[in-house]
Amino acid sequence: MKIFSILFMCVWIPGCQPDASAPNSAQAPDAPRKVAPKVIKLFGGEQAMAAVLAPDTVQAFKVNSVNIQKGEEVESRIGKYRILAGPVEVKEKEAADLANILAKNIYDWEMAKACEFQPGIAVRFTKGEVVVEIQFCFKCEEMMILLNDKSVGSEDFDRATKQLDEIFRRVFSK
């Protein structure tokens, strides 16, 4: 009975109600509150980051890790890589999980690797006229970012390899 009385009083006493303007941590506990300027720059600026965080569409592809040769005509590609499979429409949950990981400061800004970039997966975020394509090489744990088909950045994603792998397994298992 005491518990019921306390709960009843809490409902009616001003200030006991949750603040409606406070962020709901139950909705997206991993959602970044603020994106670091260095991460925004990596993606090519505010518009590109907005396309990743709030896209109209998200598609995933499997790509050939060998560059398209100069002068070679290829019907479907992402950057310099031929599309092998896709597009696979990325569901809202996976798209949000992916965006939340990419918007965090997961990158190793000081590390340089001497491996050959050979992506196997690419993701395309589209918002209006803005197209952000990210190619992922899981051998080197590096990604390359293209904004409207122009390379704008690349970085290591070692700290998020396991999380990204899990998301892509879900995306391509359907």
- Which SS3 state, helix, strand or coil, does residue 58 take? strand
Predicted pLDDT at 94: 95
Burial of 12 per CB tally in 10 Å (0-12, 13-18, 19+): exposed
What average pLDDT score do residues 44-65 get? 94
**Which has more pLDDT, 121 or 30?**
121
pLDDT band at 65; cut points 50, 70, 90: confident
pLDDT band at 41 (very low <50, low <70, confident <90, very high): very high
Specify the CATH number of the domain 34-172.
Answer: 3.30.1490
Long-range contacts of residues 38-42, Cβ cutoff 8 Å, at least 24 apart:
38/105, 38/107, 38/109, 39/102, 39/103, 39/104, 39/105, 39/107, 41/153, 42/107, 42/145, 42/152, 42/153, 42/155
State how far the alpha carbon of 102 is from the alpha carbons of 11, 22, 33, 110, 164, in Å: 40, 24, 13, 18, 9
Helix (H) / strand (E) element for 4: namely: helix 2-12
Of 72, 95, 74, whose CA–CA distance to 83 is shortest? 74
Query: Does residue 11 have a pLDDT over 80?
Result: no
pLDDT in tens, 68-103: 667 666 678 888 888 888 899 999 999 999 999 999
pLDDT of residue 15: 37
Q: pTM for the whole thing?
A: 0.76
C-alpha to C-alpha distance for 137 and 122, rounded to whole angstroms: 9
Beta pairing partners, 85? 62
Q: Please state the rounded mean pLDDT for residues 24-35.
A: 50
Residues in the chain, how many? 174
Q: How do the domains of the chain map onto residue ranges?
A: 34-172
